[in-house]
Every structure is written in structure tokens, then in C-alpha cells.
Amino acid sequence: VSISVARETAAGEKRVAMVPKVAKKLTKLDVDLLIAKGAGDASRIPDDAFEDDVNFSDDSSELFGRDIVLAVNAPSTDDIAKMKQGSVLVSFVQGHNNPDVVEALKKQQVTCFAMELIPRITRAQSMDALSSQAAAAGYKAALMAANALERFLPMLTTAAGTIRPAKVLVIGAGVAGLQAIATAGRLGAKVYGYDVRTDTKEQVESLGAEFLVAEGVKAEGDGGYARELTAEEKQKQQDMLAKSMADADAVITTAAVPGKPAPKIVSKAMVEGMKPGAVLIDLGASGGGNCELTKPDETVSHGAVTIHGPSNVPALLAEHASEMYAQNLLNFIQLFVVEEDGQDEAKPDEKTYKIDFNWDDEILAKSVLTRDGELVNESVKKALE
Ligand code: NAD
């Protein structure tokens, strides 16, 4: 099986879809691995960190002409046009926002698996790149808050007096939010967590944080995700959060609803109620922001409050985010890069592999976006209609 790893071209993208540790495991599966020259440079993984059986190329026709192409973000439509009919692409795609990419994949009859569509079931945990990248984002968001504040996070008892711990409020307690809570807590802040899914209460509390409740707002949706709030629920939530925000030094927002723009939770008035010097880190920035004042990839000063809207936080932790992502990819492709039949179990080094899709496997069936020239994911299809 021939596999290539694309160079990432999106602005600010420093991650790469392959690291030496994972490449080593991949080549054991009899894979012929070709990586775009210098693809790992931005995440500090030079080409010579890979073993000798990995090859490098600058020729995009060669790179995109492989059986399987791996990437972090979907390649350009020009590069997709260089893919072989029936070959496989595995990357984040965000098809609902990228109709041109979906068209190119259909035209080229590429079997494309979108990493964001992998179901959040137990068996798929090791392939769940949404989670691995969200964990990186949550961790970094807490550090960004600590760095932006002109205060300590922990309580300090010194000869120069006692410093009270900073208060950090994390809105949205999914994977990213929980990691932000854990990180701010480790730095000694007094942490508060909030989510519309009330079953996150236990998880927030197990990290030593206080769970905030907006009476009458309970918005569990399908598949463990949240649903959108009604106008009345939104008002109740804002009334409660405005009070906590007025008392917080840092607010980190991570709220998301699948397939929808980021819910607008923090209004201008709520920012105006915050303390001078307070900071807001909006991880919802790439989805339009959880705060109505957020501007993606900008730091906005509103009165004495600053609002940070980083749109690709995992890329700021490129080395480890790439490592986790590459391992997610390896675990995933092993669902369809499988041993040929009738091989000698006593000679594992001589085994040969083939690409074979079991469409009865829920993970493959739910994550496939295009195949045989068709867009096959129903929710993306609906979004593009
Ligand atoms: P996400 O990125 O979709 O959303 C982040 C958080 O924002 C969620 O907790 C959501 O409830 C919350 N939210 C949405 N609207 C909100 C609002 N108006 N106000 C406040 N909070 C709001 O979520 P995620 O981190 O991807 O996790 C989603 C679910 O998937 C969770 O239940 C998580 O435990 C589950 N999960 C399961 C697995 C697994 O079993 N394999 C793996 C990862 C995540």
C-alpha cells in the first residue's frame, strides 16, 4: 500500500499529519511512505528525523498519486485533481464549509474520510482527532489566559503580603473545556466551570472546580453533544453568567454545537461588566466566536478588557498536536489497511497488506464523506443543499 503525507498550506497551520514514531509503525505494515519535503519543518520535525525507509518528494503529482493521502486539512482542489480515481484521502475536511473541496473529491472519485465525522464511540476513542486536538487547545487556552493576565494565578503568601488566587471561568466543559479547567487548576487558580449539559457537573467537580448552574437550562442533544438553546434559555444563561463573569479575572469559552456556528453566549454588555484587566480567550473563534466582540486571530480591547480569538490553537502546540493526530490517523487507517488473506502467521515481517473497506463498520460508514463520485454523508449533504 502506498501512502503519502501532504504539506499543510493553510495560513498559520504548523501541524503535520506524520511524525517519526508513527511512521515507524506504519512502515511495519508494509507501507511505502512518501512525505512532502519539509512538511514537518513548522512543527520542528525535520525530514532527517524519519528513518531511512521513508521517502520525501517535492513533486505534487507523485505525492497525490498514492493509494492513500494523509493530511491535517483538506488539500487544495488542484491537488485533489492529481489524486487517482478510487484513492483515499483522510484529513479534516469540514465539508459543510468547503463545497469546492467536496466537488473536487466527487469528480475525482476519491474515497474521502473526514476526521471530524468519526463517531464519538468507545471503540473510536483512539482515532478521535477532534478530542486529541481539543485537549491541546484547552490546555493552551489556560496558558494564554495566564499569560495575558497581569496577575498571578495561584495564591501566594509572601513577605510582601498575600495574593489572592485568580478566578477563571470556563464556559463549555467538553474535551477542550475540561482540559482548560484542569490546567488553570494546576496553576493554582480558583476555577469555575459551566456547561448546558448537566452531566458535565461531575467531571468539572472531579477536577476540583466549582460547577455553575443556570436554573431551567438543560440542553443535552444527540450523541452526547449539546443542542441549540431557545431564546428564553439563552436569557437565563446570560443572566447567570453575567454575574460570574463580573467576578472573574479570566474567562475561557469553548462552547460548540455540531454543524452550527459557535453559540453566541457572551454579549457586549457582559464584557462591559467584567473587571478592568480581565481577559477572555474565545476558543469558539473559528466558528464565529462565543463572544459577540471576538474577531478571529485578533486581540480586541474593549474598555479595559481584552478578548483573544485564536482560530487554530492546536497549531500553537504543533509538535504534540501533530504526534497525537498522526497516531489517531494510524489507528483509523488500520480499519481498512488489512492483512491479505492466507498468510503465514509465523512470519510477521513478510506479511503483505491491502486496502479493504468493511462498510458494515460503523466507524467507516459514518466518517466517509465521498465515495464512488457521490457525497454520502447525510448531514453534510443537507448543509450544502
Ligand atoms: P463540543 O466541542 O461540541 O462542545 C464543547 C462544549 O460546549 C460541550 O460540552 C457542549 O455541551 C458545550 N456547549 C454547547 N452549547 C453551549 C452553550 N450554549 N453554553 C454552554 N456550553 C455549551 O464538545 P466536545 O468536547 O467535542 O464533546 C462533546 C461530547 O462528546 C461530550 O459529551 C464528550 O464527553 C463526548 N465525547 C465522547 C467521546 C467518546 O466516548 N469516544 C470522546 C470525546 C468526546
Ligand 1 atom at shortest distance from the alpha carbon of 199? 32
Task: Share the mean pLDDT of the chain.
Answer: 95
pLDDT of residue 49: 97
pLDDT tens for 329-351 read 999 999 999 999 888 778 877 88
pLDDT tens for 302-319 read 999 999 999 999 999 999
pLDDT of residue 346: 80
Separation between Cα atoms, residue 129 and residue 132, nearest integer Å: 5
Is pLDDT above 90 for 193? yes
Instruction: Report residue 141 as a C-alpha cell.
Output: 487556552
pTM of the model: 0.95
pLDDT tens for 204-217 read 999 999 999 988 88
In single-letter form, the type of residue at position 344 comes to D
Best of 169, 178, 196 to mutate for ligand 1, by most ligand atoms within 8 A of CB?
196
Is residue 222 very low, low, confident or very high in pLDDT (cuts 50, 70, 90)? confident
Q: Which of 89-93, 264-268, 294-298, 345-349 has the lowest mean pLDDT?
A: 345-349
Q: What is the DSSP string of 6-59?
A: PPP-STT----S--HHHHHHHHTTT-EEEEETTTTGGGT--GGGS-TT-EEE--
Phi, psi of 279 (to 5 degrees): -125, 150
The SS3 assignment for 164 reads coil
Q: How far is the CA of 132 from the centre of ligand 1 (A)?
A: 13
pLDDT of residue 179: 98
Is pLDDT above 90 for 221? no
Q: How far is the CA of 213 from the centre of ligand 1 (A)?
A: 17
- For residues 116-140, one letter each, b for 16 or more C-beta atoms within 10 angstroms of the residue's C-beta and e for the rest, the string is bbbeeeeebeebbbbbbbbbbbbbb
Which of 208, 311, 194 lies closest to 252 in space, CA to CA?
194
Rg (CA), the chain: 23
